[in-house]
Amino acid sequence: MKRGRIDVLALASATCLLSSAVMAAEMHDIASVDEQAQRQRDQRLAWWKEARFGLFIHWGLYAIPANEWKGLEKKNKPPGLGAEWVMYKARIPVAEYELLARDFNPVRFSADEWVDIARDAGMKYIVITAKHCDGFAMYASRVTPYNIVDATPFKRGPLMELKQACDGKGMRLGYYYSHSWDWHEPDALGYDNNWDFPDRSKKDINRYLRGKSLPQVEELLTRYEPAVLWFDVPFDLTPEHSRWFLDLIRSKYPACVVNSRIGNNLGDYETPEQFIPAKKSGNAFEVCMTTNNHWGYDKNDHNWKTAKTIVHNLVDIVGKGGNYLLNVGPTAEGVFPPEAIRLLREVGRWMKVNGESIYGTQASPLAPLAWGRCTAKPERLYLHVFDWPVGGRLIVPGIKTRIVKAYLLADPKHQALKFEPIGPDDLAVQVPDRPLDPIDTVVVIEHRGSVETNPTPLVLPDVEFVLPANMAALHGTRVTYVPNHYSLPKAHIGTWTESADYVTWEFRTLSAAAYEVVATYSAEDAQKGNAFTVEVAGQRIEATVDSTGDKKDFQAFRLGTVMLPGPAPCTLTIRPKTLNGKTSLVNLHAISLKPTKKQGA
């Protein structure tokens, strides 16, 4: 079949005119458009917010080298070439990388099997790579013969087969598409192919976007009707470029959900990668994470997460109002690694019992909990208990609302648990001595009306409580909160260069108890020898900063022991004592209060 190019020049021109018209609008017109746009966004995201849990699949030619290339991976620490980044990191010429297509024949691929694995894991949608940065299309593209149907012995379109399987099994399907970076094309920018095409002055990003990227996105929209288009790395795109893509999507398939990496503050939701935001967000967001250390298949990567870690991540993310997109990199034969299948099955067993506490839930209305997390639905709280209480007495802090019933979600009879108020703000629920599930046992609290809470965190005498950086009040002119992100996965308090600046945490105690104070921080060599004080309940601890070697390397340091009164409000304060020059005091991630003796021990 002869494959031609789709002309989108008219689309680009129309986009420019549309943008000019919008900018010329009156303020009240813009406000009304924004309100309508928000309603439309809410409609698009309705199923997505109900789903909460999805499967990410990174699959392409890079599954053949599986993170190795001519021994170059051994020079890296840790060894490897980034799996799906192997073409870029090994600087493989286009002509040589293209030869991989001759060997790409995933005869063991089964769309039905993949969908069944995802569905059994409790996932409600799948996002798969239609084209990654290597430029190879994993579907029958008419734009270029550099695709899995025309260029490989497989001669099949796995994305269409996957769409048909998803449609038949009630699974939503979306596509990852690298719209900006493409190492196969001479005109693409970003982390571009500068070994085959070294002269940047000759590169024309518009020619690439109009000639390949936009036409392929149009193909996906018109032929595959994606539930999601998941874009990536838009850093070299102008606002006009991003608008070209968004207007194309809205004109061809308005129901499609679009992630923020379309670029330039557009899209329907945010996409934190490999980290969980420290705070609840008012915006829709989706955390994407790997099941081991890589997105694409790496035959030597056996550092698999546990089912416990994945479930706890899922609950933490959903309890902050987000979605969890968990990745698997299939092999070149078209199968999931057996370790990934085993892991997803374990997660699925938990989801089969506890999925009600995930699907369609909202962010927790409660203050941070020492023993776990909370998700919510109207007139119902789901308490995810990670650290089971000694003696079976679960303290639920900050609930002022009238409680109707408490029970274990895993109990098919939903037998009522006894509960009683503790003062005006807290609740004690009598649960069994042992959890029903070692990963996460869910206690359901039914109530009437909206939830009224006490927002001050409660420190319990038998559970470690963490005072994170995002909960601190900052006092002074320089000290700031630095949120976590991909390259710095732990949020912290930093730029602490003024001796008069200090930070405080407010919390409540339930009863008097002794606690060990532990600080988790990072510090470079220049910060070593800085000193600070910790003050709480009339007691003072002095501490000297130790170097962790790198600002990304956060370690826990024991500072001393304090006796906290109770029940009582408390303030913990940290002040600089010694600062070496203009270095930041420390990069403080959290203060932990660890009971020195378990209650009832």
- Written as one string, the DSSP assignment of 522-557 is E--GGGTT-EEEEEETTEEEEEEPPP-SSTT--EEE
pLDDT given at position 279: 82
Structural domain spans, the chain: 9-357, 372-454, 465-595
pLDDT tens for each residue of 473-506 = 999 999 999 987 767 778 999 999 999 999 999 9
In the chain, what is the straight-line distance between the N-terminal and C-terminal CA atoms, in Å?
76
Decide: 382 and 409 in contact? Cβ < 8 Å. Answer: yes
138 and 158 Cβ atoms separated by less than 8 Å: yes
Question: For the CA atoms of 21, 27, 31, 37, what is the dihedral angle to 10 degrees?
Answer: 10
How many Cα atoms occupy the beta-carbon half-sphere of 139 within 13 Å?
23
Amino acid of residue 197: F
The Cα–Cα gap between 30 and 432 comes to: 56
- Confidence (pLDDT) at 7: 40
Mode of pairing for the β-strands spanning 393-396 and 380-385: unpaired
209: helix, coil or strand?
helix
DSSP character for 424?
Answer: T
Regions in the chain scoring below 50 on pLDDT: 1-33, 599-601
The CATH number corresponding to 372-454 among 2.60.420.10, 2.60.40.1180, 3.30.70.100, 3.40.1260.10 equals 2.60.40.1180
Helices (H), 189-259: 205-208, 214-224, 239-252
User: Of the CATH numbers 3.30.1050.10, 3.40.190.10, 3.20.20.80, 1.10.20.10, which one belongs to the domain with range 9-357?
Assistant: 3.20.20.80
Q: Options 3.30.9.10, 3.40.50.300, 3.40.50.720, 2.60.120.260; which CATH number does 465-595 get?
A: 2.60.120.260
Quote the CA–CA distance of 148 and 155 in Å, as a whole number.
7
The pLDDT tens digits for 525-563 are: 999 999 999 999 999 999 999 999 999 999 999 999 999
Residue 282 confidence (pLDDT)? 84
Nearest alpha-carbon partner for 560 in 577, 579, 540: 540
Amino acid, res. 382: Y
Label residue 599 exposed, middle or buried (CB < 10 Å: 0-12, 13-18, 19+): middle
Residue 267, CA atoms < 13 Å, CB-side half-sphere: 23
Annotate 110-160 with three-state secondary structure.
Answer: CHHHHHHHHHHCCCCEEEEEEECCCCCECCCCCCCCCEHHHHCCCCCCHHH
Residues 480, 493 contacting (CB under 8 angstroms): yes
> Of the candidates 527, 537, 533, 541, which has an alpha carbon nearest to the alpha carbon of residue 579?
527
